[in-house]
Amino acid sequence: MPKSFTHLWEKVIDFENLYHAFCEAFTGKRYRWESLKFKNNLEENLIVLQNELEWDMYKPEPYRQFIIKEPKQRLISAPAFRDRVVHHALCQTIEPVFENRMIYETFVCRCGKGTHAAVRYIQKCARKAQGKWGGYYVLKCDIKKFFRALTTMF
């Protein structure tokens, strides 16, 4: 039976949580105009954001879009800084709930995991397969426009 969690929204919109979310969002963005503008009136901006979230009046701002060409050309959509603060506030609250339910082999966007941990795990599996069966096969593939197709399904 699924476990339910209560009072998560109150934790998301808690002022201290929003402040820590600002600190996380500000990391690596401290010299950007938008983040400096938000920091200039930090307490006021956080209270306005908290009130919008609490009173169900929050509306995300339009994404800023730009194209990068490394390693291939892609259109990137970046949220406004205040929306990044909300993202961090939400993630700080729900990440512990999801983290305990994730299978070990999920390496993407998890603290203490990532590309290097995934490579080490695959190397361990390859050595185990080599010892048990004397060899193994690896399928390397990329599904063209997978995420675009996935988003149209939902």
Q: In this predicted model, what pLDDT tens digit does every residue of 37-50 receive, in sequence order?
A: 999 999 999 999 99
Q: How far apart are CA 43 and CA 31, in angstroms?
A: 19
Provide the token pair at 141: 């593939």
Question: Over 80: is that where the pLDDT of 147 sits?
Answer: no
Tell me which residue of 2, 40, 3, 1 sits closest to 22, measured CA to CA.
40
For position 63, what pLDDT does the model report?
A: 95
User: What letter represents residue 1's amino acid?
Assistant: M
> What's the whole-number average pLDDT of the chain?
91
Tell me which residue of 43, 25, 47 sits closest to 34, measured CA to CA.
25
- Alpha-carbon dihedral angle through residues 1, 113, 116, 133, given to the nearest 10 degrees: -20
Question: Over 70: is that where the pLDDT of 138 sits?
Answer: yes
For position 2, what pLDDT does the model report?
A: 63
Q: Please state, in angstroms and as integers, the Cα–Cα distance from residue 89 to each residue in 16, 35, 62, 64, following that order.
A: 10, 16, 19, 21
